[in-house]
Amino acid sequence: MSDALFTRINAKRDDLIALTQDLIRIPTLNPPGENYREICEYLDARLSAKGFETQLVRAHGAPGDSDRYPRWNIVARREGPRAGDCVHFNSHTDVVEVGAGWTRDPFGAELDGDRIYGRGTCDMKGGLAASIIAAEAFLEEYPDFAGAIEISGTADEESGGYGGVAYLAERGFFDPARVQHVIIPEPLGKDRICLGHRGAWWAEIETKGEIAHGSMPFLGDCAIRHMGAVIDAFEDRLYPAMAARHTEMPVVPVEARQSTLNINSIHGGEEEAPEDYSGLPAPCVPDSCRMIIDRRYLVEERYDEVRGEVVAILEDLKANRPRFDYAIRDINRINPSMTDKGAPVVTTVHAAIRDVLGAEAAYIASPGSYDQKHIDRIGTLKNCIAYGPGVLELAHKPDEWIGVTDMLDSARVMGRTLERLLLG
Ligand SMILES: [Zn+2]
């Protein structure tokens, strides 16, 4: 039964390569969010010709959306002749900036041996192409399947997903009544199932002082010294407390299998002088110091506890350190997400990996987040994983590539997954 499907998928090797190359040659750089309309129209033409009903959805009013840089998304749905579950493949169409260090044309999509090179090959147009090939082969082999297949191409994953999956989720596209299984073909490896990701809380902490002449600092109050006290307290109390916590989340790399806190930036006192200024700085006691923190947290932790732990340290300083005052401003919040290993999409893809690759799939979780957060929280759809071809470490790097064999193997796993879910 599945031999016929595998033969079909293998026969589409050249089509898979050409499709991937076409997608890479539409430079969907984000920011600012270029060519979203073009890539949606390309996918629309391809999938409409295969019998999909398509909707192009612009995320009007989402962060970054403008007439110059509209946030276009596509959702394509192919209904089977019999009732059943809907399997949705969601890929983001945006790619990050090119950066330095390339030896290949970043938008040339050069095929060299088994590899296609270009920005977005691995993250994640290769995964998008693999899911399209898998779905098309399945539809040819089983025209009387039960249920529905959806393929979406969405904007802005690299900048938070608010003009993409979050916008669609708010409009019911990921309602569990409409979609039952979601696979996000991010480049996590063809024999690994990504169950979810850690949460994140970003905030700005400001310590306050009083400006005075730098020769008489006792007449003012140095906001930077107060920030030093905050960092000392983090070192003494927060970092050891975080290091002592453990998680059931199978995060890779393993160093991320705990809570982490990064200090993104600190700015205090005078603005940095412009490049063309050759004078000296003025002597002032800084009256403000601002720090941006990036706290990543685990499914075992709760957002209000994570935030409360930092606020407690600041309140302690306020009570005990003379003249200490602060403000805290939340910048971003992402809930951790982890799909249960017993969820149908997990057990099905696990079995499909065994069928196709003869391997026991490894379960992993991502240290950073991806669009699963919106499907989980806004869409309230829990039956969601990331599964797709590619080497995660190549994402966002120069000379990014995707392996054609890996894409084909993943497409076979996806095809086998469709057989297991939609032939009932
Ligand atoms: Zn990605």
Give pLDDT tens digits for 374-410. 999 999 999 999 999 999 889 999 999 999 999 999 9
DSSP β-bridge partners for residue 364: 194
Q: Is residue 348 within 8 Å of residue 414, measured between CB atoms? A: no
| Whole-number pLDDT of residue 163 | 97
The percent of residues in the chain predicted with pLDDT above 70, rounded, is: 100
Question: pLDDT tier at 424 (50, 70, 90 boundaries)?
Answer: confident
Q: Which of 18, 17, 35 is nearest to 26 (CA)?
A: 35
- pLDDT of the residue at 144: 96
Contact 190, 410 (CB under 8 A): yes
Q: Where are the alpha helices (DSSP H) in 248-403?
A: 303-320, 344-357, 372-377
Model confidence over 308-344: pLDDT tens digits? 999 999 999 999 999 999 999 999 999 999 999 999 9
Distance from the CA of 158 to the center of ligand 1, in angstroms?
A: 7
Instruction: Judge whether 204 counts as a catalytic residue.
Output: no
145-179 as b/e, with b when 16 or more CB fall inside 10 Å? bebbbbbbbbbbbbbbbbbbbbbbbeeebbeeeeb
Q: For residue 169, report the distance from its CA to the centre of ligand 1, in Å.
A: 18
Average pLDDT estimate for 202-227? 98
Nearby residues for ligand 1 (ion, Cβ within 5 Å):
123-124, 186
The tokens 């095929």 sit on which residue? Answer: 111
Give pTM, 2 decimals.
Answer: 0.90
Find the 310 Cα to ligand 1 centroid distance in Å: 31
Given the structure tokens 């890779």, which residue do they identify? 252
How many angstroms does the Cα of residue 322 sit away from the middle of ligand 1?
47
DSSP one-letter string for 314-354: HHHHHHHSTT--EEEEEEEEE--EE--TTSHHHHHHHHHHH
Share the mean pLDDT of the chain: 96
Ordered domains of the chain (ranges, CATH): 2-197+337-422 (3.40.630.10), 199-334 (3.30.70.360)
Cα of 125 vs centre of ligand 1, distance in Å, is 9
Residue 245 Cα to ligand 1 middle (Å): 28
Q: Which distant-in-sequence residues (6+ apart) come within 8 Å of 4 by Cβ?
A: 141
pLDDT at 20 over 90: yes
pLDDT over 90 (residue 273): no
Q: Which residues pair with 403 in a beta bridge?
A: 115
Out of 65, 85, 94, 156, pick the active-site residue.
94
Closest-CA residue to 128 (of 401, 408, 388): 388
Please write the tens of the pLDDT for every residue from 124-152.
Answer: 999 999 999 999 999 999 999 999 999 99
Decide if pLDDT at 1 tops 70.
no
pLDDT of residue 317: 98
Given the residues 65, 123, 156, 157, the one annotated as active site: 157
Q: Which residues pair with 77 in a beta bridge?
A: 53, 150
DSSP per-residue letters across 47-102: HHHTT-EEEEEE-TTSTT--SSS--EEEEEEEE-SEEEEEEEEEEE--B----S--
